[in-house]
Each structure stands twice: as structure tokens, then as C-alpha cells.
Structure 1
Amino acid sequence: MSTLVFIHGWSVTNTATYGQMPQRLQQQAAAQGLSLALRDIWLSEYVSFDDAVTMADLVRAFDHALRDLHLLEPSVACITHSTGGPIVREWLRAQRDKPGSFSTIRLTHLVMLAPANFGSALAQLGKGVISRIKAWFNGVEPGQRILDWLQLGSPESLSLNLDRIHSADPASRGQFLFVLIGDRPDRSLYDHLNSYTGEDGSDGVVRLAAANLNAQHAVLSTQAGRGNLVDPLSLFLSRGPRCAFKLLAGIAHSGEDHGILASAAPATIDAIVRCLAVRSPADYAAVCDAFAQENAARDADKVELEPAGPFAPRVHIHDPRSLLILRLTDEAGEPLTGAGFLLTAGPQASPDLLPPGFLIDRQANPRQRSTVSLFLNYALLAGDARVPDPRNPRKTLRDAVIAHRPYGANVQPVDLTGLVHHALASTAPGEDLLTALGPHQTTVLDVVLPRKIHEGLFRLTQHLAPEDFRHLPPGDVIG
């Protein structure tokens, strides 16, 4: 097969981070008939812990390093961890958009282990806090510019992911992408000062939905009305190309015992070999189907009993979650800073019908305050069967949950009056936001309101005598 390049995650300072993964993978690949010699394996050493370094800098340096290999066969496969996944994806986009500036080396397989494709909730906490989390860093301060890219809802990550959603399927041209991620944090690495490190629905650093490239772009928009008190919002939905996505039971983001890279667990090795064995779009579709079935089996067995010493074990119900990245703007692209966004449920469009516990977390992007990431419990919104206690199936951990569809939204701008203003808006009857969500998936939702411009903003008059027009009536809305 082609040359295999391992690419580590952010703020790594030693190739010990790869553990026994390269050697064990080579052994397993050989046992299954894949030609993968140690001389074909390269380990990356890149610097991300310098505040001057940007994602674009790493992409250019990665391209240069690949050129220096002087490959006889101009193709590579990559296995990445964490931030390594977005680096290679940004390189693929640069190859496409700037063909004269980047190499023509072809990527055949990209196997991403716990990639922060849509970012990480931890990235917003700042350098000082993050550097204390020993599961992520090793004695260095993280680079601020890469940290900015990794914040949930960052313009850079959204640009990359929306580009994928609206682009052609790479599998059709023989380029195969895979996402493998552990299904829970390593509880021994929990940071009591930061609950994100033990968050269900994540591997302790990256949320499952934020790793998954099976993503959607939804738009709620309306036509500007002249006299509407409440503008109706219609839903338009685009789904990205299918991506092979697999959950690895009991695997976490970091750590020698349970980390997806360093532990080199047999389940991880087996999944990687299955990915590297893909040779055609038909093979890829078969792996996608198989991974989906295995994920469904994992989701059905979703109760974790965490030992708690002499006390009763802590119960974790690993429901599928969804990440909703919300952007509020108007038709001119102006951010609707301060606007209220309220989810509703049922034909009555009432927020009181939303299931308790459906909203797990929310973060506003610090550089784009009108971009907010909502972490939602998909199972509670979609409805879920009774969850029995595995210790005694007659006992119930959670009663059955009934969905209260359709789910909608109300938007309340702060500027409801003036020569230029915005109006209240609500999803139109018949629209259901649940259709835009998916289990373990991310949806980018753009809410676009019309600008209400009154004719009094610009008038022509034939009154030649001087006239004060500071207090004239605004007139009707244009359009």
C-alpha cells in the first residue's frame, strides 16, 4: 500500500505519544494481508505550542514535509489524532483551491482518531486553564492561534466544515475518510475544576458529534414582509457526503490505558485495518453500513456504572447527543447581537413542552458572540424507551420519554423599531427542527432575518424651501 503517515494532536512534544500503535498496526495489517512495512511508516513532529503558529502555517509546513519524502509512488495514507485530522483536511482544501502552490501528492485514506473537526468545548477555557489538564498537555503552553481555530463555532472550523457539506463526495474520486472515536472519558483523568473532561457524549476532550463528519447545514429564513408582526421561518436543509463513523466502546481521548492512540487497543487496531483495506466506493459504503450497525448496537447498550469506591456506582446513560451550532444574522450578513433564540415543542409551540435535561451545555464563540453552540440530548428530543437498570431489569433508571414534535424556534431581535429594524420571527407551521438533527452529529443552523427598511430612510422631495426632516414619519416598509 502507499506510505502511511501518523500525525499527532495539538501540543504534543514527544513521539512517545504514538505508543505502540505503529508497530501493532503493522503486525495486524500483515496478519490480514496488507503490505505495510515499517519503512513505509512516518511519524510527524510538528509544533503547535507556539502562539505565532496558525493552521495555515501548519498546512504549508505539512505540504513541505511531504514533498521532502520524495515518494516513488505519489500517494499517502494518514492516521491522525485529535487536531491532526483538521490539519490534513485543511491541506486537502488547500490542494484543491491552490493547485499551483501545493503538492500533487494524493491522499488515499484519512483515518481520524478522535478528531476535533468541529472543535472542542475545552478550547474556549483559555491557555491557563487548559494547560492544567494533564490529559491534554505535557508541560507546555498551548498555541493561542490553533486554540482559536478549535473553539466551538469558530469561523475557521465552520468554513472548512461547510465546504465539505456542500462539496462532492470524496469517495467518488477514490479518497476515503474515516472517523473513529471512543465513547466515553477516562474517568481517572477527570479534572474536578472542569466538568468538560468527564462529560458524557464525549471522549473527555472531543464530543462525539463534534468529531463526526456526517453533518448538516440548515437555514431558517423568510422573505421580507411589509406588515408582518411575526415573520414565518422556513427550513432549508443540506446534508454532507456520507462519512464512515465508528464509536469504540470504553476508549477515551487520551491516556496510556484507555487513550485511542497510545493504548493501541485491539478494537482500535482492528477498526483502522478495516479502514485501510477499503479500495473502492463499494468497499467504503460497506464499511459505512457496518460501522452504523455496530454504533446502533452500542447505543442500545448505553448504561455505564462507574465504580465509586464504597458508595453506589455512578450511573451514566450514554444517550446520543447532537451539536447545534447556531448563527444569527440578517440578510445583509449583519450579526444579530443580543437576539433571543428560544426552542419550542409541540403544535402549541411552547418551550414548556421541551423535555427536562434536553439542553446539556451552550457556549458562545468569544470572537463571534452571535454564534452559539448548543449541546442537545437527541434521545430525549426524539423520544426514548424506558431505560432498565442492568443490575435488575425490573427496576427503571429512566421512564420512557415521549417526543413533543414538531420542534420550532422563536427569534426576538433587540431592535424591533426604527428606520431599519428586525421583526419577531418563528418557524412556520409544519417545520420541524428535529429533521435537521442527527444522533452523534453536528448541524450548523443559520437563522437569517430580513432587514425592515422604511421608505422614510431615503426620500425625494420637490419642496425647494428649507425643510427639517429629522422627525418625519418613517413610512411603510420597503419591499
Structure 2
Amino acid sequence: MTTLVFVHGWSVTNTATYGALPLRLQQQAAAQGVALTVTDLWLSEYVSFDDVVTMPDLVRAFDHALRDLHLLDASFACITHSTGGPVVREWLRAQRERPGTFSTIRLTHLMMLAPANFGSALAQLGKSVLGRLRSWFDGVEPGQRILDWLELGSTESLSLNLDHIHGDDPLGRGQYLFVLTGDRPDRALYDHINSYTGEDGSDGVVRMAAANLNARHAVLAHDSGTLEDSLSLQVTRAPRTAFKLIPGASHSGSAKGIMQAAPKTTLDALLRCLQVKDAAGYHQLCDTFDAENDQRDADKVELEPVGPFTPRVHIHDPRSLLIVRLTDESGEPLPGAKLLLNAGTPPNPDWMPQGFMLDRQANSRQSQVISLFLNHDLLAGSARVPDPSNSRKTLRPAVDAHRPYSVSVEPADLDGLVHHAIAAMASGNDLLDALGPHQTTVLDVVLPRKVHEGVFRLTRNLTPEDFSHPAAGPAIPG
């Protein structure tokens, strides 16, 4: 018997958000012989729309609510939607880091539907005047503190995800994590005021790359023994996580929503997840999901009907989310620094493939953290894309890769007692090696900090001497 807990997303105020998924999942499970009875299904009701409530508050309350279930075998499985994924992942981290404070209840299967693991580009809209007006008309606050977590590149979300990337494989703890996300927006729900709701590469709210936990942490920093203005690239990959694209599903809505509409593809994927019992079965399902994703990526053209006019063409290339943090070796942020992406040898920003940059967004609380949404297929090189209704017609000609790709940084302060110098990625490195299709990469660009001897001098001159305008002198060796 499996106890299954459902956890909803941000701004939800009614359990109708779960739609028919709990009942249909129970019915489908019974048909396949998976033990799920009515008394084993629990629907969460948590508050994300109060400006005072923080993510740690939700984690603490979630732990208390679990204790009240009095689980017979002290274990459960969980299906989350949207922000519910990060909430439960934060709870898992709290369990590991504070075992004396949080319960020892064991989560076996965490199935995340459209999780905002790396946040959502829409979080800034939620914090805007429009978002506040919408919340005011609904009689609730927008949930400022949760939206802060959800903003792309937030300190809180990056902390959780970098812990995951550099941490132990959850399989070693007997935990099976799964990410299932829709592959396109519901065009009927498009908000003409905000184009993010119809953004290709997302489900209308969360980008596929931002949902995926198969992420990477890349560090671009000076390496001893190389030129001072040369930055070397090192990449760390997260433990493998099962990732499944649900074709045709969107983030929400009763027609195409991955949870509320309860499409058969969602039900089938969830039941396959629930039936994983060991590491071998988990890796096998990862392989199966990868093969199904490849098949979906091969069928990438969507022709959107536009009334009496020519259909609107959407080419669903795999995208990459690159979250760049600009700091120096002391951890100081570099506001005003200019980051350039270059292609070819010698590096040239004008050689980047046309259309590779889809969006950029700076974090509102940390301007030195920038999220770049990139077309991975155009960077890697793409074959000709034919019209599915007429294979002789070309929707997009073949695109060659312009590798290697590199990064150069021009800081705002190029001189002074303490300053930074222009730096570039070392030759032989390729930024594309740090990017993955439908994946997020956190890129830390770390510049050497130039401290000159004029900052601190010793003198034997006992006569009073004015040093309010010191000469910088040479830089102190690092």
C-alpha cells in the first residue's frame, strides 16, 4: 500500500487545482495492480499567497502536517506541481541538515509535475503592479517571499540546486526523483501583455530547462600557471534524474494542464515512476524517458492555427538556461560588468548563430546575476527543418555550429587602488561543453581582484605626511 501526498503550487487557494488527477490516477493504478486506495490519497492545502510566509515556513509546516498523518511504515510518495517541487526538495534538505528538528519520515518517490526548480521568468511579473492588482482583486496577497525564491537566479533557489549538483545521489538514500513537464504553452491561455506565457521552450509558466534537475555548475576562473587574463572552465554535473517531456501538455488549465487536465500521458508516466523499486529500475526508466524525449525532439514543428490566416510556425528546439553570476575571487559582485558570448577562432561576438539568444533577465535583487535563455540546437548545429505538411518546403535551412563558444568579461572598474581587468575564456575551452539540451547551467565567472600596494604601505618617515591621494603603485602578486 502506498500513501500518496499531493502538493500544489504557488497562489493556489482551492483544491480544485488538482483536477481529476487523484481520482484518475487511483483508477489507473487499480487497473494496473498498483495499490492506491482512497484513504491513501492526501491533498495539500498550504498558503503561498501571504507576503509574510517564507519557504522555510512552508517547510516547517509541511513537516508538521506529515507527522499528523501517523504513517504506518513512516514513508510516503509525493506528487507535486510547480512550486510544490521546490517546497518538498527544501524539506528533504532540511531533513538531512537538521535531523534533530525535522521528522524521520521517509520520502520514497518524488514525482514533480512542471516543477519550478530553477524558478520562473514569470516571477517578476507576479511582483509587479499588475501582479499585485490581480492578487488584490482575488482577495489575496501575491506571496512576495515565495516569489523572491522563484525569481530566476535567486540566492535561495541557487543554494538548493547547487547543493543538489554537488551532493550525494538521492538513489543512495533510497529516494527516487522524477521530473515530468509539459513541452508547450496552452495557446488559449496566452496573455498578450506578457509574452512569457506563450514562450516556446516552456509550458507557459516554467521553462523545461528550469524544471530539469540534470543541471550543471560551471566555474570560469583564473587557473594558476596560465595568463592572468585567461579564465579556465570546470564543469560539475548533477546526479542523474529521470526527466520526461509530456507532449502537448501545458503548465495549467483544464484543457491541457499537466495536472488539472490529467492527460493519459501524465498518468502513464506517474505510474511508471511509482513502480520503480530499485536503482536498476530507476536507471532503466531514465533511459526510456531519454529515448522518448529524443523522439519528441525529432517531431519539433508545431503549426498554430491563426483563424483565416497562415498558421504560425513554432520550431520546438531544445533550449538551455544559463544563469551567470559575475563575482571576483573575494566573492564581491561585479555590477556593471559586460559579458560577451563569442564564437569561433579568434573569438568574435558577431559570429554567434543568428537567433541563438531568446531572452535575458537580470535578478531584481542581484543585478550581477543574469539568466540567459539560449537555443541549444542553433548553438550545436541543426539539420534542415522541413514543413510537416510538405517535406519539400523548408521552414528553416540547416544551421552550422560556430564552435568553439567562449566568454569574455569587461568589468566596470579597470583602474584604481582595487580594480579588475578584462578577462576571457582560455583557448581550448568550449562553453557548449557546459550546456545541455533542456538543461540549466549555473555559470560562475570569477575575475581576479587587483589590489595595489598603495592600499597599505609602511614608512620610516616620522614627519607628518598626507596620504589622502596615494599612488596606486604595482599590483600585489596573487
TM-score range, shorter chain: over 0.9
CA contact (8 A) 1:209 1:322 kept: yes
Q: Which among 382, 389, 393 is matched to residue 384 of structure 1?
A: 382
Q: Which among 283, 286, 289 is matched to residue 284 of structure 2?
A: 286
Match of 2:242 in 1: 244
Match of 1:307 in 2: 305
Matches within 5 A, 1:124-143: 124-125=124-125, 126-130=127-131, 140-143=140-143
Partner of 1:388: helix, strand, or coil?
Answer: strand
Percent identity among equivalent residues? Answer: 71
Match of 2:87 in 1: 87
Deviation of 1:475 after TM superposition, in Å, equals: 1.9
Match of 2:207 in 1: 207
Deviation of 1:172 after TM superposition, in Å, equals: 2.2
Change (3 A) 1:203 1:416: same
Q: Distance in 2 between matches of 1:387 and 1:472?
A: 63
Match of 1:428 in 2: 426
Match of 1:272 in 2: 270
Q: Which among 321, 324, 337 is matched to residue 323 of structure 1?
A: 321
Q: Distance in 2 between matches of 1:379 and 1:238?
A: 22
Q: Distance in 2 between matches of 1:300 and 1:390?
A: 12
Q: Distance in 2 between matches of 1:355 and 1:65?
A: 51
Deviation of 1:59 after TM superposition, in Å, equals: 0.4
Change (3 A) 1:138 1:396: farther
Cα deviations by residue, 1:215-258 (Å, 9 ceiling, x for unpaired): 000000015899x7x61000011000000000011100010010
Say yes or no: does 1:452 pair with 2:443: no
CA contact (8 A) 1:224 1:451 kept: no
Match of 1:170 in 2: 170
Q: Which among 333, 342, 355 is matched to residue 331 of structure 2?
A: 333
Any stretches of 5+ residues in structure 2 without a counterpart? Answer: none
CA contact (8 A) 1:123 1:130 kept: no
Supply the AA of the counterpart residue of 2:88.
Answer: V
Say yes or no: does 1:20 pair with 2:20: yes
Q: Distance in 2 between matches of 1:246 and 1:131?
A: 34
Matches within 5 A, 1:115-154: 115-125=115-125, 126-130=127-131, 140-154=140-154
Deviation of 1:30 after TM superposition, in Å, equals: 1.5
Change (3 A) 1:133 1:21: farther
Cα deviations by residue, 1:263-317 (Å, 9 ceiling, x for unpaired): 0111100000000000001010001000000000000000000011111110000
Supply the AA of the counterpart residue of 1:170.
Answer: P
Q: Distance in 2 between matches of 1:157 and 1:132?
A: 26
Q: Distance in 2 between matches of 1:42 and 1:311?
A: 47
Cα deviations by residue, 1:310-344 (Å, 9 ceiling, x for unpaired): 11110000000000000000011100000000000
Supply the AA of the counterpart residue of 1:190.
Answer: Y
Cα deviations by residue, 1:375-430 (Å, 9 ceiling, x for unpaired): 00000000000000111100100010001111001100011001111000000010
Cα deviations by residue, 1:134-179 (Å, 9 ceiling, x for unpaired): 9xx9664421111111000000000000000000100122100000
Q: Distance in 1 between matches of 2:225 and 2:39?
A: 66
Deviation of 1:47 after TM superposition, in Å, equals: 1.0
Deviation of 1:33 after TM superposition, in Å, equals: 1.6
Cα deviations by residue, 1:356-393 (Å, 9 ceiling, x for unpaired): 11110011000111000000000000000000011110
Supply the AA of the counterpart residue of 1:102.
Answer: F
Instruction: Give the root-mean-square deviation of aligned CA atoms.
Output: 1.6
Any stretches of 5+ residues in structure 1 without a counterpart? Answer: none
Say yes or no: does 1:361 pair with 2:362: no
Change (3 A) 1:127 1:70: farther
Supply the AA of the counterpart residue of 1:46.
Answer: Y
Match of 1:187 in 2: 187
Match of 1:440 in 2: 438
Say yes or no: does 1:222 pair with 2:248: no
CA contact (8 A) 2:55 2:145 kept: yes
Partner of 2:229: helix, strand, or coil?
Answer: strand
Supply the AA of the counterpart residue of 2:241.
Answer: C
Q: Distance in 1 between matches of 2:421 and 2:115?
A: 40
Deviation of 1:132 after TM superposition, in Å, equals: 7.2
Match of 2:51 in 1: 51
Runs of 4+ in 1 over 4 A off after TM superposition: 131-134, 223-226
Cα deviations by residue, 1:28-49 (Å, 9 ceiling, x for unpaired): 1121121111111101011111
Deviation of 1:459 after TM superposition, in Å, equals: 1.1
CA contact (8 A) 1:307 1:313 kept: yes
